[in-house]
């Protein structure tokens, strides 16, 4: 039996927004901060089925507004910090949450929230 393939037009979403939006939302430092915090949250020290590097790389594919959403609740506030984070990783998670909230608000204001 043959199955027809549905026509699914793929929309390419670039990792970087056009200028000046990319710079206004934080640029490369924000990409790195949020992807690192996301990977730290998803991969506890006890281990995870997906490596930390793979989680980081998959998060790093997203544009900043989508990447920020990884660390936010549906209402745009930062998600709670994971219990397994401590020390520098916890501080980084707090900073990344603040950065994600700012990016989300700014992206809404600028009209670039994909």
Q: What is the rounded (10 degree) CA torsion for 60, 22, 99, 35?
A: 10
Spatial CA neighbour of 17 closest among 54, 56, 66, 59? 66
- b/e code 77-104 from CB counts within 10 Å (16+ = b): ebeebbeebeeebbeebeebbebbbebb
Residue range 5-36, pLDDT digits in tens: 665 555 566 778 878 988 888 899 999 999 99
Has this prediction a pTM greater than 0.85?
Answer: no
Structure confidence at residue 14 (pLDDT): 74
């Amino acid at each position: 039996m043959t199955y027809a393939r549905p026509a699914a037009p793929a929309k390419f979403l670039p990792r970087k927004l056009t200028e000046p939006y990319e710079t206004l939302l934080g640029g490369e430092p924000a990409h790195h901060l949020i992807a690192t915090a996301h990977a730290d949250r998803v991969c506890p020290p006890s281990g995870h089925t997906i490596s930390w590097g793979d989680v980081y790389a998959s998060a790093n594919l997203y544009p900043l507004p989508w990447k920020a959403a990884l660390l936010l609740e549906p209402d745009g506030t930062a998600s709670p910090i994971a219990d397994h984070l401590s020390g520098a990783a916890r501080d980084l998670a707090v900073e990344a949450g603040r950065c994600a909230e700012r990016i989300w608000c700014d992206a809404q204001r600028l009209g670039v929230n994909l």
